[in-house]
Amino acid sequence: MADSIQHIEDEIVEEFELFDDQMDRYEYIIDIGKKLQPLDAKYTTDDFLVKGCQSKVWLHAYEKDGKLFFEADSNTAITKGIVALLVRVLSGQSAADIKSADLGFIDRINLRSHLSSQRSNGLTAMVQKMKAYAAAFA
């Protein structure tokens, strides 16, 4: 059985608590992005592009056994890491749980406060797109 959204968020918060320095946090986010599975080229088209992101972010969702799974990629390292965090939290969850998730870990790790306003808007756009997929599959 998959971990709950809250459990995964708590794990991420614990991981980020290991870093005092903001640059170390950025390096960690970039490392997380490097571990993201490559996205099939057929999903790196405008149809899968997240609107509102400064960087290019592609997001694909599919349903399997009543759960929603996400695959993503980006053309920048930090954004790829951010979307990888979202994929880690929301992939494999039910559409209803994704729609109701508050994703408090974003603020608990002070992610948004260290992003430019454009990147912060992009983060919001990614979350909205994932919730829109969940609404469509619900």
Q: What are 44-90's pLDDT values in tens digits? A: 999 999 998 889 999 999 999 999 999 999 999 999 999 999 999 99
Which pLDDT score, from 0 to 100, does residue 61 have? Answer: 97
pTM of the model: 0.95
Domains (ranges, CATH) in the chain? Answer: 5-137 (3.90.1010.10)
Instruction: Name the active-site residue from 53, 82, 95, 106.
Output: 53
67 is catalytic: no
Q: Which residue has the tokens 């948004």?
A: 112
Residue ranges of E strands in 28-82:
57-64, 67-74
Q: What are 78-135's pLDDT values in tens digits? A: 999 999 999 999 999 999 999 999 999 999 999 888 788 888 899 999 999 999 999 9
